[in-house]
Every structure is written in structure tokens, then in C-alpha cells.
Amino acid sequence: MIVPMKSVTLVCMEKDRDSTIKALGAVGVLHLTPVREPQSDDLAHAQRDLKRTQNALAFLESLPPEPDGPEPDDAGGPEPDAPKALLEAVESLAASRHELAERSEALRNERDGLSHYGHFDVALVRELQARGLAVGLYRGPVRGELAVPEGALAVVTGSDNTGRYFAVIGQGDVSVPDAVACPLPPRSLGEVEAAMENTAREKEACENRIRRLAAHAVPVLQSKRTGLQARVEALEVRESMGLEASLAYVHGFCPVPRLDTLRASARSHGWGLLIDDPPPDVRVPTLIESPAWVRPIESVFSAIQILPGYREADVSSAFFIFLSIFFAMIIGDAGYGLLFLAVTALARRAWPKAPPAPFRLMTIFGACTVLWGVATGAYFGVTALPAPLARFRIDWLTKNENIMSLCLLLGAIHLSIAHFWRAFRMLNSVRALAQAGWIAIVWAMFFASRTLLLNEPFPAWYLPVAGASLLAVVLFMTPPARLKSEWIHHAMLPLNLMSSFGDILSYLRLFALGVATVKLAEAFNTIVTGMIGFRGVLTGLTCVLLLFAGHAVNIGLGLMSVLVHGIRLNALEFSMHMGLEWSGIPYAPFVHRRHGLPEGAVGDGLYTPQHMD
């Protein structure tokens, strides 16, 4: 159920803004919306310092784990203790690490360029040039004679797939045709390698210093980040409040069941409250309170980050029921379902403090998969079932055309629920009659799809029903007063009818994916047992490993299919027929993390009244 909200305007004295923010954060029931754009020097400084702290933590947390071995030697004196000094030390070391990495890369490139010419003394070459002896470095063709000037000496020093590298020594002009002259380097290869060794030592010392610092810097900076986030949030609220004369005010939304808590706090703090229904043109946050049996599906909504809008419908129950059915049909194997149950139970024992919703969800999905697999006689792709298991198989479900018909029926029921739900929400409007017409059209599409795919005759008695339903849609889909502005709905009706037929056919993916999962399991079994077989200990072990790998891949593909297709049928096809746009923003009441007012973070070594300039 989507909890009803009230629009709230809270008024306090301007001089009491800070204490009001503290009290609001302690109450934690008001979802605030800014009256004005929050701007101030204090807020800008707080945001800058929070960004610095977040960057420092991101740097420390991105470091590779410390290798096993002795602790690194102290390479820079004692660690700073004050949080401000700690942050500055991290920033300085991060900058040094980056500079050393760039220097190391530049030296590596310089070495690679010089390595083709080997070790030589650059100073000696310059001295020879000063005495009139010409020395040139060149890169020429890989093959062929070197056309060096007469009387000059050519020394090949190296080669690669781009050419030969050589030096030419002689009197006068020593240029070589068909060769590229390379400038004399500023230093020798030996000097570059020595610089690389020095840089490597500096990098190692810097890394050691960072590892020593990170050991106690991370928890300190994480604590400071929490405090700074609270300070930024409080300042954003403070600076976004409206001001009028000596009064300050703030807008927000409060769930109706929590209004008494807000009223009690207002009486104790002397606030003024204006409580009203949310305006129709304002985006209201969504708070959903589901029955206990529906709550496991909330983990899916959180994972894919969808939320119905405040004025939309909470479809959690339908989403949960049908996704459980779709999961079972896509996975389709009782053995896999038992594995899900076992793995879920073991995971729950391993993580007893984790939120329970995902474990309950997987338990229900696993149980549904077991039931479907038992009904269809699917157990790890085994085709020859023993009598006790074969007894529970429903033969009707072993025929493909029956499964296809069932999928189409599920689609018609699913989409009919969407239109019925939509009609129920429009009971005070003639548009509800158009939704009733759409329900009849959905079933017309169901009969038409069975005729096209399964050669089932279209019931003649339904033709006048389909015609009447289409007429109801045309007449009542748009109120006469809105016809001028919403005529496009009528123009789009033919496309919507075709889309409705496609949506019904879309449920056949349950059949296709379920068959693919079962047949792939059977194929793995046939390939492994037929080509290798259990002829001995080694071949038996190989078969077991291959079967494990094959079925693991099959399970992984099945889970991906559930994520892509099972959720799609709920979040797209069903939601489109429901008119659900998932446009909600979560209800997020203003709550202090720890402290956050200007005086709360002063005097801790990191935040001072002058900030960290």
C-alpha cells in the first residue's frame, strides 16, 4: 500500500533555524523540499571539504591489499594524528604517487627510445663533435645496403620490425639517404636506467608510507566523512529555508500515520505547521508499506531501482505472485529448485545478520520451481524417471502445445488484472468503461493468438463481444472535455491494438526459455555420459565435473533469463497496460547521521570555524 502523504509547511523564528534543523533531524519524519536554491560560503566550504575527504578515502580504498611479509620500514617519520593533518598527508602522498608514476612512465619511454642504440657516452660524442668529427644516429630500412658517405663508418646497434638503428661516424656530412636522422639524446641509456632505479626506490618508499598511513587513516576519515555528510545535509536544509521578516519556513511531506509525531514535536518547539493535501502538480515522494508476505519482492525493486509514483498503484502483490510463477516456468527443473533451497538455507546460516527479504524471496522462488519441475517431470535433465517421481508428473504439461496455450492464458490473465486494476482506480469516471473494453480486447487477442499458433478455432460467439469492447474503448477512452487535447490517443488506437496482440505473444517467452533450460540440461547429460561415460574412477570423476560445470552454466543462463524476461513481463508489459510509469521518488525523511550543525563539527582537528583553507 502506498502510504498517504500530507504537504507540510513548517514555520519557526529565523534565529531558531539551527535548533529547528536539529530537532527535525531527531524526529526524522519530514521529507524536505527546498524553498530556494541552497547557497552560502559555509555550504561551499563544507562541500569542498567533503569532496576532499571522499577523494582521499577513494584513493586509500582503491589500493591493492598489502602483500604478506614483514611490515614496511618507516619511511617518513611518525604518522600524523590530527584528522586535518591526516587528510593533508594522504593528499600529499597521492600527489607524489601520481607524479612518480608519470615520471616512471616517461623514463620508460625514454629508455625504450635509447635501447636501440645501446650504451654510449653522450658527453664523449659531443666532445668529438666539438673537435670536428661528425656523429649521427639513424633509423634505416630493415634490409639492404647502408648508403653511408665515403670514408664514414656505420655501426648497426639494433633493429626491430620498423627498421635498423645505426650510428655513422666520419668527417663532414654523414647524412644517409633513405634513413631517418634521430636527434642526439640529452643523456645516455645508463643515466636513464639509473634515474629509473632511483624513481623505483622513491615509489617503493612512497607505497610503504601510504600503506602505513592507510592502516589508521581509513577509519578516521570514514568517521570524518560521516560527520561532513551530516554537516552538508544540515547546511543544505538551513540555506534552502525560506525567509520572511523574522520568520523562516520549510516545505516537505509527511506520511499521515506520522503526523502526530510531527505535531507533538511542533508543540514542544513552538513551530507553526500548515498541513494540507499535496497539490496535484507537485511530485510527492512514495512510501510503500507492504503486508509481510509481499515484502520479499521489495529486494527486487531495490535491485532494479523502480518505484511507483505517489499517484500510481502499488503492484507489489501482483508483481510477486507472477514473478514467482515466471521464475518457476523459466528455470523449469525440480532439481535446480532443490539446489536453490539448499543454497539459500546455507547462505542464510552463513549471514544471519543480513536482511531477510532476499533469502525469503529465493526460498519462495525455489519452492515454486520444485513444484513446477515435479509437475512437468524435470529433474536435472533426466529423461527416464523412476516410478515414484513419474507418478507426480502431469502428462498434460509434457506437451509443448499445452504449455504454449498455458503461457498465452497466463498473459491474458496478467494483462486483464492490469486493466481491471486500472478500471477500479477510475470508478468515478467513464474511462473505467474503456478499461473494461480493453479487458475484452485482451481476451480477443488471446483467442486470436491460439488460432494463429495452435490452430484452435476462434469462438464465433466472441466476435460481437470484441466489437462491443472496441466501441467502448473508442467512446470512453477520452472524456469529451479532453478530446481536443488528447485526440492523439484515438489516432494511436490501431497501434495500441497491434501492441496488445504482441504483448500476449510476448508471454510465449516463458515456454521458449523453459524448454531451453530443460533441453540444455538433457543435452549436457547426453553428451557427457554418451561420449565419456562412467567406465572407471577417472572417467567417472571427469563426468561429474563436466556435469557440474554444464548444469552450473545452465542455472546461470536461467537466472539471467529471469532477470531479463521474467521481470520484463511485470515491469513492462503488465505496467504498460496498467498505465504504470514507475515514476516514484523514494520517501527520504531528513535524519541526522550523527551531528551536522555548524557547531557540531568544530574543534575536531579537521573542521575549524575557518575551515580547511
Q: What is the mean pLDDT of residues 445-474?
A: 93
Instruction: Dig out the grid coordinates for 578 from the structure.
Output: 496498467
Name the residue among 215, 233, 219, 218 with its Cα closest to residue 50: 233
C-alpha 57/C-alpha 45 separation (Å) is 18
pLDDT: which is higher, 303 or 128: 303
In the chain, the percentage of residues whose pLDDT exceeds 90 is 53
In contact, 563 and 300? CB cutoff 8 Å: no
Residue 578 to residues 434, 471, 581, 592: CA-CA distances in angstroms? 13, 20, 9, 38
Pairing of strands 242-244, 247-255: antiparallel
Determine the pLDDT at residue 607.
Answer: 33
Pairing of strands 247-255, 5-13: antiparallel
Q: What is the mean pLDDT of residues 16-22?
A: 90
Within its chain, how far is the Cα of 213 from the centroid?
A: 31
Determine the pLDDT at residue 142.
Answer: 77
pLDDT per residue as tens digits for the range 346-391: 999 999 999 999 999 999 999 999 999 999 999 998 877 888 888 8
C-alpha 371/C-alpha 513 separation (Å) is 17
- Residue 417, sorted as left (phi over 0), alpha (psi -120 to 50) or beta, turns out to be alpha
Checking if the pLDDT of 608 tops 50, the result is no
Q: Cell 598527508 belongs to which residue?
A: 89
Q: Cell 513419474 belongs to which residue?
A: 390
Determine the pLDDT at residue 603.
Answer: 32
Determine the pLDDT at residue 289.
Answer: 92
Query: Amino acid identity of 145?
Result: E
pLDDT per residue as tens digits for the range 504-556: 999 999 999 999 999 999 888 888 877 766 666 777 788 888 888 989 999 99
Q: What is the mean pLDDT of residues 116-125?
A: 81
Query: Amino acid identity of 69?
Result: G
pLDDT per residue as tens digits for the range 209-241: 888 888 888 888 888 888 898 889 989 999 999
Q: What is the mean pLDDT of residues 263-289?
A: 93
State the pLDDT confidence band at 103, using cuts at 50, 70 and 90: very high
Query: Amino acid identity of 68?
Result: D
Name the residue among 73, 64, 167, 61 with its Cα closest to residue 114: 167
| End-to-end CA separation in angstroms for the chain | 50
C-alpha 342/C-alpha 338 separation (Å) is 6
pLDDT: which is higher, 283 or 539: 283
Checking if the pLDDT of 74 tops 60, the result is no
- Would you list the domain boundaries of the chain? 120-187, 295-578
Determine the pLDDT at residue 312.
Answer: 93
∠ CA(24), CA(29), CA(34), 5° rounding? 65
C-alpha 394/C-alpha 409 separation (Å) is 18
Percent helix / strand / coil, the chain, rounded to 5: 60, 10, 30
Return the HEC string of 285-327: CECECCCCCCHHHHHHHHHHCCCCCCCCCCCHHHHHHHHHHHH
**For all residues of the chain together, what is the average pLDDT?**
86
State the pLDDT confidence band at 593, using cuts at 50, 70 and 90: low
Determine the pLDDT at residue 529.
Answer: 77
Determine the pLDDT at residue 582.
Answer: 93
Determine the pLDDT at residue 611.
Answer: 38
